[in-house]
A = this chain, B = another copy of it.
Amino acid sequence: MTEEKSKKQFVEDLTDQSDDFSRWYTEVVRKAQLADYSPVRGCMVIRPYGYGLWEHMQRLLDARIKATGHQNAYFPMLIPESLLQLEADHVEGFAPQCAWVTEGGSEKLEERFAIRPTSEAIIGHMYSRWIESYRDLPVLINQWSNAMRWEKVTRLFLRTAEFLWQEGHTAHASARECQEEVLRMLEVYRDFVETDLAIPVHGGPKSEAERFAGAEMTYSIEALMRDGKALQAGTSHNLGQHFAKVFDITFQDEQGKRQHVHQTSWGVSTRLIGAVVMTHGDDQGLRLPPHIAPVQAVVVPIWRKDEDRAAVTQFVGRVKEAVGERARLWVDDRDQYTPGWKYNEHEMRGVPVRLEIGPRDVANRAVMSVRRDNRAKEAIPIADLATRLPVLLEEVQRALFQSALAFREANTGYANSIEEIEAHFASKRGFVAVPWENDPALETLIKERTGATLRCVPIDQAPFEARSQGRRVALFARAY
């Protein structure tokens, strides 16, 4: 296969975003080997390249979760139906989505167990046994685990029956501390998603209609995908005393009085991988933010004549040594593929930087770097590589964020009436900022007329002030 032909085929194979975004998404997820379908309805396989993304996300977020004083623990994945039923809103919201274990060993069980759709119930039960005094508070626990919701319509990463996530569950002595925790974790998510995933988000409270089943208040961070649909990227819930009252989670305060705790829960999931794909990807495939890219720079050695091979190979060795632990480098020295085939594959897989090394580069004591995000080329002398490559990767990271931010700004409209909102969604997508004073009837009307839902009321209103004339806005969008 010639280089030119392979290049053409590889690109032709991928549907253009503008032709069919949804098809583009599924194709790129499978061609880049992030994930695959499985024989279990609605469940996917996360392949090594996709799981590598998740491992880096976990590492970076886990450090933030621990830095804010939380510890990890692990609770059973099965929840007795009787526990799930204690909180009325919670069971109403989740029971219809549960997968149920009814047989164990070779026997029919006396009570059904739900595979956790979320763990408030089982954790609430344990907290009621562990918490006795104000000295036991706050309890700051996080869990990394799988969870399952028997969704009717599924899509790789975005909505799968089984997903991987982290769920934080905390208990506090006062409503004030509890609310501080809710906002602290929302800010942890915002910082993580913007800094490491290069995805700009708006964070703030959701409306009552969009609230987590059993929560007093739900906050979310909301991102905008390249097809103009919004995606909820993380949530932080103030559970108030709802679960504490039904699970009897009480403590003796400093005055010796028994009180119910105040609780939070917060989570992000493998859905974030879908958000990365749909925020940064283009018609050639993925564009991965360097902070989480399993391979940050791929080295492609090039020679035509056999006599060049030894010199190139030796120089590649020096490049590896020069970079050391400063970047996650992979040398693609597979013999069966041409350089051109490799270029296309690594573009499809979104490797942030490619380093080409041919005989001329060896002669120049330099490598030719090519950025995935904007294809900018730069010859980097090997003497500078150790300092230049990490900086270059940070430049790619920032450029991806800026590009996503510009896209979001270009796709944020303003509307003052239901007519203006309808007019917007008749021709456009993206966010619409609407002056907001908690009007559930208007929210319902907007949803009925346009399919858009209230994503959140941004805590940071600064981006809207120039257009909102001092009025607080809520963001509406069609959403995943």
Q: Which of B41, B47, B79, B126 contacts A73 (CB 8 A)?
A: B47
Copy count, this protein chain: 2
From 71 to 105 in chain A, residues with beta carbon under 8 angstroms from any chain B beta carbon are 71-80, 83, 96-105
Q: Is A135 an interface residue (CB 8 A)?
A: yes
Q: A104-B99, A150-B104 are in contact. Are A75 and B38 (CB under 8 A)?
A: yes
* Chain B residues whose C-beta falls within 8 Å of the C-beta of A113 in the assembled complex: 40, 99
- Specify which of A52, A74, A96, A150 lies most central, judged by the most chain B CB atoms within 10 Å of its CB: A74
Contact present for A73 and B48 (CB under 8 Å): yes
Instruction: Say yes or no: B100 contacts A164, CB within 8 Å.
Output: no
Interface hits, A26-66 → B, CB 8 Å: 36, 38-41, 43-48, 51-52, 54-55
How many Å from the CB of A380 to the closest CB on chain B? Answer: 28
Q: Does A225 contact B (CB under 8 A)?
A: no
Summarize A's interface: helix, strand, loop or mixed: mixed
In angstroms, how far is the closest chain B Cβ from the Cβ of A203? Answer: 28
Is residue A415 contacting chain B, with contact meaning CB distance below 8 A? Answer: no
Cβ of A399 under 8 Å from chain B: no
Of all chain B residues, the one with the shortest Cβ separation from A149 is B105
Min C-beta distance of A139 to chain B, whole Å: 10
Residues in B whose Cβ lies below 8 Å from that of A55: 72
Note all chain B residues with C-beta closer than 8 A to A79: 40
A336 to B103, CA, bound (A): 48
Within 8 Å CB of A54, what residues of B? Answer: 74
CA distance A145 to B40 in the complex (A): 17
A446 to chain B minimum Cβ distance, whole angstroms, is 29
Residue of chain B at shortest CB distance from A55: B72
